[in-house]
Amino acid sequence: MNKTELEAAVDTRRTFAIISHPDAGKTTITEQMLLFGGVVRQAGTVKARKSGSFAKSDWMEIEKKRGISVTSSVMQFDYDGKRINILDTPGHEDFSEDTYRTLMAVDSAIMVIDSAKGIEPQTKKLFQICKMRGIPIFTFMNKLDRDGREPLDLLNELEEVLGIETYPMNWPMGMGKGLKGLYDRYNHRVELYHNEAHGETFLPLDKDGKLDSSNELTKDSIYRDTLEEMELIEEAGNEFDEAKVASGDMTPVFFGSALTNFGVETFLKTYLQYAPKPSAHKTREDEIVQPTDEQFSGFVFKIQANMNPNHRDRIAFVRICSGEFDRGMDVFLQRTGKKMRLNNSTQFMADTRETVETAVAGDIVGLYDTGNFQIGDTIYAGKHAVQFEKLPQFTPELFMRVTAKNVMKQKSFHKGIEQLVQEGAVQLYTSYSTGDYILGAVGQLQFEVFKFRMLNEYNSEVVMEPLGNKTARWIDPEQLDEKMSSSRNLLVKDRAGAPLFLFENAFAERWFADKYPDVKLTAKL
Ligand code: G4P
Q: Please give the pLDDT value at position 48.
A: 54
Q: Please give the pLDDT value at position 63.
A: 43
Q: How confident is the model at residue 281 (pLDDT cuts 50, 70, 90)?
A: very high
Tell me which CATH code domain 16-60+108-274 carries: 3.40.50.300
88 lines ligand 1 (CB under 6 A): no
SS3 of residue 236 by DSSP: helix
3-state helix vs strand vs coil in the chain, percent to 5: 35, 30, 40
23 lines ligand 1 (CB under 6 A): yes
Q: How confident is the model at residue 445 (pLDDT cuts 50, 70, 90)?
A: confident
What average pLDDT does range 238-266 have in this prediction?
96
- Kindly report the backbone phi and psi dihedral angles of residue 173, in degrees, each rounded to the nearest multiple of 5, phi listed first: -100, 90
Q: Please give the pLDDT value at position 39.
A: 74
The CATH number corresponding to 398-522 among 3.40.50.720, 3.30.70.3280, 3.40.50.300, 2.60.290.11 equals 3.30.70.3280
Determine the Cα angle at 339 with ends 337 and 344, to 5°: 130
**What is the whole-number distance in angstroms between the Cα of residue 12 and the centre of ligand 1?**
31
Q: Lowest mean pLDDT: which of 121-135, 191-205, 250-264, 358-372?
A: 191-205
Q: How confident is the model at residue 409 (pLDDT cuts 50, 70, 90)?
A: confident
What average pLDDT does range 391-404 have in this prediction?
92
Of ligand 1's atoms, which has the minimum distance to the CA of residue 22?
Answer: 4
175 lines ligand 1 (CB under 6 A): no
More confident residue, 58 or 240: 240
Q: Please give the pLDDT value at position 423.
A: 81
More confident residue, 135 or 41: 135
Tell me which CATH code domain 281-380 carries: 3.40.50.300
Q: Lowest mean pLDDT: which of 16-25, 74-83, 343-352, 498-507?
A: 343-352
What average pLDDT does range 110-130 have in this prediction?
95
Q: How confident is the model at residue 58 (pLDDT cuts 50, 70, 90)?
A: very low
Q: Please give the pLDDT value at position 472.
A: 95
Task: Sketch the domain layout of the chain as residue ranges.
Answer: 16-60+108-274, 281-380, 398-522
What average pLDDT does range 3-27 have in this prediction?
95
CA dist., res. 151 & res. 162, Å (int): 16
Of ligand 1's atoms, which has the minimum distance to the CA of residue 112?
Answer: 3
263 lines ligand 1 (CB under 6 A): no
89 lines ligand 1 (CB under 6 A): no
| Structure ipTM | 0.97
Q: Please give the pLDDT value at position 199.
A: 54
Query: Is 50 exceeded by the pLDDT of residue 382?
Result: yes
Of ligand 1's atoms, which has the minimum distance to the CA of residue 257?
Answer: 23
**What is the whole-number distance in angstroms between the Cα of residue 240 and the centre of ligand 1?**
31
* Helix (H), strand (E) at residue 454: helix 444-458
- Kindly report the backbone phi and psi dihedral angles of residue 163, in degrees, each rounded to the nearest multiple of 5, phi listed first: 70, 40
Query: Is 90 exceeded by the pLDDT of residue 198?
Result: no
More confident residue, 41 or 457: 457
Report the binding-site residues: 20-27, 88-92, 142-145
**What is the whole-number distance in angstroms between the Cα of residue 27 and the centre of ligand 1?**
8
Q: How confident is the model at residue 346 (pLDDT cuts 50, 70, 90)?
A: low
Q: Please give the pLDDT value at position 53.
A: 44
- Kindly report the backbone phi and psi dihedral angles of residue 516, in degrees, each rounded to the nearest multiple of 5, phi listed first: -120, 70
Contact 237/167 with Cβ under 8 angstroms?
yes
Report the binding-site residues for GTP: 20-27, 88-92, 142-145
CA dist., res. 504 & res. 470, Å (int): 5
Contact 441/421 with Cβ under 8 angstroms?
no
- pLDDT tens for residues 303-328? 876 555 556 667 788 999 999 998 88
- Kindly report the backbone phi and psi dihedral angles of residue 223, in degrees, each rounded to the nearest multiple of 5, phi listed first: -65, -45
Question: What are the CB-based long-range contacts (under 8 Å, 24+) for 417-421?
Answer: 417/454, 419/458, 420/450, 420/453, 420/454, 421/495
Q: Lowest mean pLDDT: which of 83-87, 88-92, 506-510?
A: 88-92
**What is the whole-number distance in angstroms between the Cα of residue 175 and the centre of ligand 1?**
17
Residue whose CA lies nearest to ligand 1 atom number 33:
47
**What is the whole-number distance in angstroms between the Cα of residue 100 and the centre of ligand 1?**
23
Q: Please give the pLDDT value at position 303.
A: 83
Of ligand 1's atoms, which has the minimum distance to the CA of residue 47?
Answer: 8
20 lines ligand 1 (CB under 6 A): yes
Residue whose CA lies nearest to ligand 1 atom number 21:
259
Domains 281-380 and 398-522 share a fold: no
Which of 21, 31, 126, 259 best tests ligand 1's pocket when mutated (most atoms within 8 Å of CB)? 259
The percentage of residues in the chain with a pLDDT greater than 90, rounded to a whole number, is: 69
Query: Is 80 exceeded by the pLDDT of residue 348?
Result: no
What average pLDDT does range 355-361 have in this prediction?
75
SS3 of residue 169 by DSSP: coil
Q: Please give the pLDDT value at position 156.
A: 96
Q: Which residues contact 337 (CB under 8 A, 6 or more apart)?
A: none
Task: Report CA dihedral (114, 116, 121, 127) to the nearest 10 degrees.
Answer: 40
Q: Which residues contact 112 (CB under 8 A, 6 or more apart)?
A: 18, 19, 20, 24, 25, 26, 29, 139, 140, 142, 258
